[in-house]
Amino acid sequence: MSGMSAKDVVLAFLKDWESGFVGAFERWMHPQALWQNTGLPDQQGKAAVMAWLHKYNDIMQMPYGRAEIVSIACDGDKVLTERVDHLWGDGDRRHSARIMGAFEVKDGLIIRYADYFDAGQFKPDEFMNA
């Protein structure tokens, strides 16, 4: 993973969603990662990130995704993405949402991942009350 640009790391992370979020997060999250999602509590450290991701998967039952990149901007170790995230599971459940993402890369891994979106596209109460 070393030698990759920040943009390449982020695009590889997003591509790996197609095989499952858990594997992608395990592979690309820095041990000190910070994960931030609109309307949900911040998750600090890879263990907390992974615990939250498993909670998400348990609730949403959509452990796979594809990020359709609308635009991307990079400045050093920072990457901004405008995307449409398409999520799915093993059944018929599907969901798509427009997202603005901010990433910061350190040592070839994602140390900060923040998504900004209209929370009405999702149901954040499902997470808060689980």
Q: Could you tell me which of 74, 68, 64 has the C-alpha nearest to residue 102? A: 74
Q: What is the pLDDT of residues 80-89, one digit of tens each?
A: 999 999 999 9
Looking up residue 21, the CATH number of its domain turns out to be 3.10.450.50
Domain that holds residue 112: 6-128
Q: Provide the number of structural domains found in the chain.
A: 1
CA distance 85 to 68: 6
Host H or E run for residue 7: helix 6-16
**Is 25 part of any domain?**
yes
Over residues 80-129, the pLDDT tens digits come to 999 999 999 988 888 899 999 999 999 999 999 999 988 676 654 554 55
pTM, two decimals, is: 0.89
Q: Cα dihedral angle (90, 46, 78, 106), rounded to 10 degrees? A: -130
In a domain, 1, yes or no: no
Q: Which run of H or of E encompasses 10? A: helix 6-16
